Structure 1
Amino acid sequence: MTLPSSYFEDMYAAAADPWSFTTRWYERRKRALTMAALPNPRYRSAFEPGCSIGTLTEQLVTRCDRVLASDPIAKALDAAAVRLDAARDRVELRRWSLGDDWPAARFDLIVFSEVCYYLDADTLRTVTQQAVAHLEPGGTLLVVHWRHPVPDYPLTGDEVHDIVSADPGVVRMSAYQDEDMRLEVFTTSHPEPRSVARRGGLL
C-alpha cells in the first residue's frame, strides 16, 4: 500500500529536514551525480515530484528554463519557497503527490529522486506510464533511489528501478550503481536515443 500523507506530515513535524538533505555527504554526492548524469546541457521544462525542501530543485533550476516542483506536505513546500526565492520566476511549487492527476503539460525532463519507493508496485507502474505520456519525444526520465531496505517503504530502491525499466515506453541511456544508491537515465523509446557524443557531433 502506498504510504499516506500522514506519514510525511509526522516526519516534518519532528524535523525541518527529516532526511538531512542539507548536511549528509550521501545527499550532496547524490545530487552531484544526478546533475552530472543529465545528458542534455539545458532543459526547457522539468518536473520534480517529491521535491521536499528544494535542495535538488535548487540545482535543477541552474539547468532548466522552468521547473515544476511538487510535494504533498505544505511545510516542505514552505521551506522550498524560502530556498528558491531567488529563482521564483522560473520555479513553480505545487502541492501534489504521485498518484494524483498529472499536470496538463509535457516536459523534456522528469526526475524521480528518492520518491517512488513510497508507492506500491501497481501504483508505480501507472505512474511510470503517466511519466512517459508526459515526456516530450526524446525527453529524459532520471530515476535515483537509496538501495537499502526501509521497513516502512512498500518497495526497495532496486524494485523501483526494475519496475520503471520494464516499461516498454522507455529506453535506458545510462546507469550508475553502488552499495547505497542506484541511478538510471531513461529516454522515451521514440525517437531512437542517441548518445551525448553523437548528439554533439563527436561521432
Structure 2
Amino acid sequence: MAERPRLRSEYFENLYSASPDPWGFETSPYERRKYERTLEVLQDRRYGRALEVGASIGVFTEMLAPLCDELLGVDVSEKAVSVARQRLRKYSHVRIERRELPEEMPEGPFGLILASEVLYYLPREVMLETLARFEDALAPGGRLLAVHWRKETETYPLQGDEVHGLLVGNSRLHVRETIVEPEYRLDLFEDGR
C-alpha cells in the first residue's frame, strides 16, 4: 500500500476555517481525560524550558504553563496560533509561534518536549527525522512526551500505535512510563545523559 502524503498547513487552515475548535479541545471529555492524565505524568518536576508541538488553540498549553519557567508552543496553522496567542496573552513566560516541524525546529535545549496528537500527520521518514531533531534539542535529563489517538484513520500517514512503535524502536531515549488506553497511548521518554 502506498504511503499517505504528509498533511501540510493548508489541511489544518481549512479545518480551522470550518471550525474554531475542530477537535473539540475545549469541550471533549476525551481531550479532558487525556489532558489530566498527561499532567499527572509530568507534574513530578518543574521544567525550565519546554516546547509543545501542535499547540493548536492553546487549551493544553494553558494547563501546562504553570509547570514551566518558559514555554514555547508551536503549531502549523496561523489561525490556531492567533487564537492561542489571545488565550495565553496573560502569561509572560509563554510564546506561541507558527512553525512547521521538523524543518523549523526551534533551537534547544528543552527540559520537556511534548508532541500530542501530531506525529501521525507525518510520513514515516519525516516522523523519524522529527524524532532525531527532538533528541538533539533535549537538555541532558530532559523528557519527550508523546501521546496519540489509537483509533484507525484513513487520512493520516501513520496511525497512533505506529508512531509509538517507531518512537520506542528508534529513540536513544529510555521509556520512563507507558500508558495504553483504548483511545490513546502515552509514552514518556527520558534522556539518560
The interval holding the TM-score normalised by the smaller chain is over 0.9
For the residue of structure 2 that corresponds to 1:86, the secondary structure is coil
| Distance of 1:178 and 1:105 partners within structure 2 | 31
For the residue of structure 2 that corresponds to 1:145, the secondary structure is strand
Aligned 8 A contact 2:113 2:144 in 1: yes
Select which of 2, 12, 18 maps to 1:14.
18
Select which of 83, 99, 116 maps to 2:102.
99
Select which of 14, 33, 43 maps to 1:29.
33
Q: RMSD between aligned alpha carbons?
A: 1.1
In the alignment, what sits opposite 1:83?
87
Q: Deviations over 1:147-188 (max 9, x none)?
A: 001111000000000111112411000011111100010011
1:1-203 → structure 2 map (5 Å cutoff): 1-38=5-42, 40-87=44-91, 89-188=92-191, 190-191=192-193
The structure having more radius of gyration, on CA atoms, is: 1
| Distance of 1:64 and 1:26 partners within structure 2 | 24
Aligned 8 A contact 1:47 1:110 in 2: yes
Aligned 8 A contact 1:129 1:169 in 2: no
Q: Deviations over 1:108-165 (max 9, x none)?
A: 0000001000000000111001101100111010000000011110000000001111
| Distance of 2:186 and 2:35 partners within structure 1 | 11
| Distance of 2:95 and 2:103 partners within structure 1 | 17
For structure 1, list consecutive stretches of 5 or more residues without a partner in the other structure.
Answer: 192-203
Q: How many residues align?
A: 189
Aligned 8 A contact 2:108 2:139 in 1: no
For structure 2, list consecutive stretches of 5 or more residues without a partner in the other structure.
Answer: none
Q: Deviations over 1:39-98 (max 9, x none)?
A: 6321100001110000111011010001010111111011101111211x1011111022
The list of structure 1 runs, each at least 4 consecutive aligned residues, that deviate by more than 4 angstroms after superposition, is none
Closer/same/farther in 2, CA of residues 22 and 168 from structure 1, 3 Å limit: closer
| Distance of 1:98 and 1:147 partners within structure 2 | 22
Task: Read off the aligned partner of 2:47 and give its amino acid letter.
Answer: Y
| Distance of 2:66 and 2:107 partners within structure 1 | 24
Please, what TM-score do these two structures have when normalized by structure 1? 0.90
Aligned 8 A contact 2:177 2:188 in 1: yes
